[in-house]
Amino acid sequence: NERADKLAKAATNENNRKLDIEILPTCEETKTVLRIEILTNWNNRWKNQFPLKLHQIQQDVKQKNPALLFGRREQVIINRLRIGHTNITNLHLITKEDTEH
């Protein structure tokens, strides 16, 4: 019995040494890490730009914008209204006259 125990213990120790396997991340885990890395890089570039009126609307690229529920045209209209970039506010550039706001 003692000899059988020693052999079993030795076999277990040998198997443990052979099981040093490197476990690679799955495809989904890799995609998640890449998405996070890309968003972080994009966010840093966004924050380091010179100040834009659009920063008043969206300070962070990760922040969800409710306008994303709409199509591209509706998003443009909503954002132009929010930053004050409309035909009414730019009328003075076209007519070369002062307009009351």
At 46-75, the pLDDT tens digits run 888 777 777 777 777 765 656 567 788 887
Average of per-residue pLDDT across 2-26? 71
CA angle, 19 then 21 then 23, to 5°: 140
User: What residue ranges do the domains of the chain occupy?
Assistant: 1-49, 53-101
Q: Are 33 and 25 in contact (CB under 8 A)?
A: yes
Closest CA to 49 of 60, 38, 39: 60
* pLDDT given at position 87: 67
At 75-93, the pLDDT tens digits run 788 888 877 776 666 666 6
Better-predicted residue by pLDDT, 55 or 34: 34
Whole-structure pTM value: 0.42
Structure letter (DSSP) for residue 63: S
Length of the chain: 101
Structure letter (DSSP) for residue 58: -
* pLDDT given at position 68: 63
